[in-house]
Chain A
Amino acid sequence: MDLVQLQRQFGFLDEQFTQLQELQDENNPDFVVEVVSLFFEDSERLLNELARALEQQNIDYKRIDAHVHQLKGSSSSIGAQRVQKVCVAFRNYCEEQNVEGCLKCLQQVRHEYSLVKTKLESLFQLEQQILTAGGSIPME
């Protein structure tokens, strides 16, 4: 059982991630790494923005919702299912203008993000090791 199947089992990555792998080819051998790197950059930016926004005296819930919407979208696009799920709850708290709920969700989404980041990084490291050892990554 390969690593991606394992991740899917635990719900970290859904079938969208497999789609990304299927799009990778000889013309674009680093496609998945590139997309995932963009996801890391974008997410970290959004998480910082969210933290800043929730620190404000007068919380701008519309702005927070916009950021969470973006994070929800990008996590969905790469298959980071658990991050996406927290974003759904996060948006509900935004609508309710519930600061406690929002803060809790921010903590949760940070946690889920770091989990999936670790998973993805180890996945790439493993692939790199295989390639360096002269092997090949079986594509399903």
Chain B
Amino acid sequence: MELMNSENIVQDRQPAQPQEEEEIMQQEEEEEEQRFHVLAVDDSVIDRKLLEKLLKASSYQVTCVESGEKALEYLGLLHHSSPASSSSQHHHQGHKVNLIMTDFSMPGTSGYDLLKRIKGSSWKDVPVVVMSSENVPSRISMCLEGGAEEFMLKPLQLSDLHKIQAHLLKSLPHS
């Protein structure tokens, strides 16, 4: 009886020299940066427009949705079934989602509800930023404890986008 020889198993490619690998990573990072995609969730048409402009002004790709339900639908989480394979993780119709920004107070599925759903799904590694026009300490800690990366006060300004960038860079895939 012939046993499978371990040498028949295909080896992983040889790791590149440290310098090359760094250059490759840098190139990928640059390309990635050009394609950062943010999913923005807000029931206010004005705030959606503002957020879209702020994000586009910082060269991010944006998709705006008007409710928590629409966000869940976009992420494929609406019918309580998780995506079939792990390769679809972070992807929707070919678009990846690098960051989710959501308003806290929304009718129906609130920003907090959305946060919990995301953190309990295959999208859990995508950073979520919660926004609110109200500075309520208990609300802030609840969101942070619920897994939000950041809690931001509205109205957002261009300077707030710098914080966003840090979270987006964190979300880059590790090799």
Contact = CB atoms under 8 A, between A and B. Distances in A.
Interface residues of B, number: 16
A23 interface: yes
Q: Which of B44, B49, B155 has its CB near the most chain A CB atoms (within 10 A)?
A: B155
Contact of B53 (A23, A66, A78): A23
Contacts of B57: 23, 25
B155 A69 contact: no
A57 interface: no
A24 B105 CA distance: 28
A45 B124 CA distance: 38
Identify whether the interface residues of B are mostly helix, strand, loop, or mixed: helix
Contact of B45 (A16, A20, A31, A42): A42
B50 A76 contact: no
A22 B154 CA distance: 17
Interface of A: 16, 19-20, 22-23, 25, 28, 31, 34-35, 38-39, 42, 66, 69-70, 72-74, 76-78
A108 B154 CA distance: 24
Contact of B154 (A23, A66, A76): A76
Interface in B53-105: 53-54, 57, 105
Given A28-B53, A77-B154, A69 B105 contact: yes
A76 B53 contact: no
Contacts of B157: 19
